[in-house]
Each structure stands twice: as structure tokens, then as C-alpha cells.
Amino acid sequence: MRYEIMALRGAEGVQALTLDAASESDAREQIQTLGYTFLSAKPKTSFLQTLPLPKAGFPLILFNQELLALLSAGLALVESIETLAEKEHKVETRKILEQIVERLYEGNTLSFALQQFPEHFPSLYIASIKASEKTGDIPEALARFIAYQSQLDLVKRHVISASIYPLLLMFVGLLVTFFLMVYVVPRFSRVYADVSAQLPLFSRLLMRWGQLLEMHAGLISVVAISTLVALVFVLTRPSSKRWMAQSLWRIPALGDRLRIYQLARFYRALGMLLRGGVAIIPALQMVAELLQTGMRSNLANATASIREGMSISHAMENNQLSTPVAGRMLRVGERTGQMGEMMERIAAFHDEETTRWVERFTKLFEPLLMVFIGLMVGCIVVLMYLPIFELAGSIQ
């Protein structure tokens, strides 16, 4: 990010400087290194930066993959991260890596260094690294997190790829409808202006809409654009996203699928932490943020029950954090002592179930959507040409 800095240096007086920095404290350090006395700093934002666009964060998966490759090649941890910092082109990412290296040279552990950047390194990842430091097996922790994140991304890609065609179909249908209503219908309304009393009822209503668009085109355009901008602004607010998520959870069939999807994420993350050596109670507390707000109280009750000595399978079942399949597999994990591996298998089973459900839903939804759009466009076209058909029939 670029910062506008006010600084003081000797006889030069107060000066305004602009520089790239990862944070305000980083900007302060850079200014002091140049011999200035720091006064103030503020982010320099452009119009595009004020729009609600997604920001590119720290490339965590790429960082893990490259770090794992360097460690497997025999490089030391500090040397590996230094290498990644040297080859990095993005200023903010390079600054983060350099600060991690500085903390490692100070004698701190990697997990401590990562904790200084909670916005870039999730608590699950830090906990996995911290547990691996006790056994000296950081590469295994990196590989485990890569596998964990890859599975999550795989499910997301399935959902997104299944949603692309219906969304594209809806966009094209709305675009065709908009073209007919804004461009074609107003021109037909001029043709029928003198015979409007003889038109069928729905054709008259359609033509009046065309005349309304023609008379107030500027005002309607301003209202439409303003509404679209306001809608985009509202939908990007955190409170609106929470409200939409809660509304989706209230839909019976969809709510059940969302619950299973969240449980799959929950068990996958929990299994990764348990396999990494994290105790069950801290692990449960770390994965709480992966659950929907209404399920977190259930998790708190389950955690309290496990702390009191209840088995994990019974605690999960009693607090509605399990499915019939998950309950049986948890009991198997308790008997074999491989709870982490069993939780990952539970997540894999439910991920496959979610993928199959999405595929079935899209196969049913796409034809229905095509029929709906076809009927909508067909009705508009028929209502436009209906008077012509009647006139041709009367002539015959």
C-alpha cells in the first residue's frame, strides 16, 4: 500500500513523501532509516481502491508449496524463507517475509513469527506449525495444510463450476429481456399508437410500458443505475452478508446441505489439528470460527462435555454436530485411536456427498431455468406480435 508521509529533516523542514509500505509502522521505519523524523502517515487511496473489490491477500498456499520444496531440498528454514523473500516481486508480500526472517534471526520460533500477522496466517495454520515445532517435523505440517486447503478448494471449484452455466443463462436471459423491453417494445408502441384501443389487454399494458420508457428514459436510467449501485453496496456489507446467510439456512433443503458442508469443513480442520499433535480441547476452540453462528453454542456445549470426560462421539451427537455416518466413524476412531484420520475421512465422505448433490441440483435446475427464460421472452414477443396476427386473421 502507498502511504503519504509528513516528515521532518534538519534545515529542509517538513516534507511530504510517498512510499510503499506493508503497514503504517513499516512506513515509519522506512522514513526513520532515511534520516527523517516521522510526523504522520495516511494511506493514499485512489477511486478504484474505494470500490468494494476483493483484495489479493498473502499467497498462503503458494508460500507453503515453495517452502516445502526448499525444505525438502535440504535448505534450512531461515534460508528457505530468505530465498522466497528475494524472489518475491510484490512489495507487501516481500515485506512480510522479510519481517518473518528478522524474527527468526532474533531467536523466535516460526509460529511466533507468523502470529505477528494474524490477517495473513489463520490460527489453524499457526497451531499446526506450533505443534510440529515440538516434534521438529515442519515439512509434514506444511504438507498436511496443503492437502487440507486443496480439498477445500476442490469442493469450492465444484460448486463454482456447477454455478457458472446457470448464472450465465440467467444473465443472457435478463439481457435479452432488457433489450426487448427497452429497445424493441417502445418502437412497437409507436406503430400501435393509433390502434391502442383495439389491442388485447396484455398487449396494451406492454405498449404502455414501452411508451413510459420512451417518455421518461433519462429518469428511469438514473433510477435503475442508482438502484444497481445501492444494491451492490448493500450486498457487500458484512451485515447484509450475514442476513443473506441466515436466510439461506432457513430454507429446509438448502439449510441441511449448508450444515453438512460446514460440518465437513469442521471435521477436516479438526482432523488436521489432531494429526498435527494439537490436543482435542484447544483444537475444538480453534475450529469454532468455521461454524455458522448458531452452531457455535452447540460446539461450546460439546467442548464442555468432552472436558468433563464424555466421549467425542457422544458429545458431538448430543449437540447436533454429527451425522449418522459421522457418529459411527467417530466411534471407530475412538476404538482404534486414529481420531484425526477418521475425522478427515468423515470430511471426505461429506464433501463427495455435497458434490453429488450440487451436480444433481444443477442438472434439474438448468432445464427449468431455460424453460422459464424461454417462456418469459416468448410471452413478450407474442404480446408484441399478437395484434399483427389478429389483423392478418381478419384480412383472411
SS3 content of the chain, % helix, strand, coil (to 5): 80, 5, 15
**What's the confidence (pLDDT) of residue 305?**
93
Q: Which domains does the chain have, with CATH numbers?
A: 2-50 (3.10.20), 60-121 (no CATH)
- The alpha helices in 216-338, defined as continuous H runs, are 217-235, 238-250, 252-275, 280-286, 293-307, 312-318, 324-336
Please tell me what DSSP assigns to residue 6: E
Rounded to whole angstroms, the Cα distance separating 66 from 143 reads 11
pLDDT, residue 1, reads 62
Per-residue pLDDT, averaged over 70-83, amounts to 90
Q: What is the pLDDT of residues 257-267, one digit of tens each?
A: 888 888 888 89
318 pLDDT more than 80: yes
Structure confidence at residue 195 (pLDDT): 57
Q: What is the pLDDT of residues 347-378, one digit of tens each?
A: 889 888 888 888 888 888 888 888 888 888 88
Q: Is the pLDDT of residue 63 over 80?
A: yes
Q: Is the pLDDT confidence value at 40 over 80?
A: no
Beta bridge partners of 8: 14, 37
Least confident span in 94-108, 126-140, 312-326, 342-356 = 126-140
Q: Which helix (H) or strand (E) holds 8?
A: strand 2-8
The pLDDT value given to residue 385: 77
- Out of 21-25, 116-120, 322-326, 358-362, pick the least confident: 21-25
pLDDT average, residue stretch 185-212 = 72
Task: With cut-offs at 50, 70 and 90, classify the pLDDT of residue 56.
Answer: low
Mean pLDDT of the 13-32 span: 72
The mean-pLDDT minimum among 14-18, 191-195, 215-219, 355-359 falls in: 191-195
pLDDT at 390: 66
Section 310-327 average pLDDT: 91
pLDDT digits 0-9 by tens, 114-162: 988 888 888 888 888 888 887 778 888 888 888 888 887 887 787 788 7
Q: Give, in order, the Cα–Cα distances in Å from 261 to each of 78, 85, 246, 294.
A: 38, 36, 15, 15
pLDDT for 91: 85
Give the dihedral sign, CA 192/195/197/201.
negative
Mean pLDDT over the full length of the chain: 81
| Mean pLDDT, residues 198-224 | 77
pLDDT tens digits for range 149-197: 888 788 778 778 877 888 888 888 888 888 887 778 777 777 776 655 5
Judged by DSSP in three states, 302 sits in: helix
